Amino acid sequence: MKLIRFAVGLIAPAFIMAGSMTHSAIAQEASDLDDVRAANDAFYRALSARDLGVMWKVWSYKTEIRHISPRNKVINVGLDAAMRNWKGLFAAFPEFRITCEQEYIRVNGETAWVSVIEKAQWKNDDGETETATHFGTNIFEKQDGRWFMVYHHGSAVPQ
């Protein structure tokens, strides 16, 4: 009987500690989800505002990033190449807006990915409004406590 009480005395605190660690992990995951959502939203706000200054702040400067937009014929490798692409896009479309639907976020340690349906709207050379729907995938890395984009791929939804 003493042995059983001794064993229960050892096991009960372990369950209590495991429960509090699970709660802490859940709270951390919820915080990371919110932070990744905020980073993803900042990317799309910068895109719609055609703001290169904010775009520089969203993307990682520590990791070799990759960017593929629906208009790309090649993969932009590196931050400078991606920024040249954005600058060209902003020059080509002085009025451009993008919204997202069906956002799905997954966090796994220091990496997170977001998939969305992107709804793009812009004015063409004749001043007419055009639209397109894209699949969007964004990958983020947590660096120095903050989430930075390291990968974006947008591809047209087949019609």
**Alpha-carbon gap, residue 1 to 17, rounded angstroms:** 25
End-to-end Cα distance, the chain:
73
Confirm if 118 and 135 have CB atoms less than 8 A apart: yes
**pLDDT digits 0-9 by tens, 92-123:** 887 889 999 999 999 999 999 999 999 999 88
Cβ neighbors of 85 (< 8 A, separation 6 or more) are 67, 69, 72, 76
**How many residues comprise the chain?**
159
SS3 64: coil
Q: Are 121 and 98 in contact (CB under 8 A)?
A: yes
The number of folded domains in the chain is 1
Per-residue pLDDT of 117-157, as tens digits, reads: 999 998 888 888 999 999 999 999 999 999 999 999 999 98
Band of pLDDT at residue 11, cut at 50, 70 and 90 = very low
Q: Which of 9-18, 22-31, 120-129, 130-139 has the lowest mean pLDDT?
A: 9-18
Rounded distance, CA 113 to CA 149, Å?
A: 9
Residue 83, domain CATH: 3.10.450.50
pLDDT of residue 28: 57
Q: Name which of 114, 120, 106, 109 is nearest 156 in CA terms.
A: 120
Structural domain boundaries, residue 28: 2-156
Indicate the Cα dihedral angle 80, 77, 130, 96, nearest 10°. Answer: -30
Cα–chain-centroid distance for residue 53? Answer: 18
Give the three-state DSSP class for 1: coil
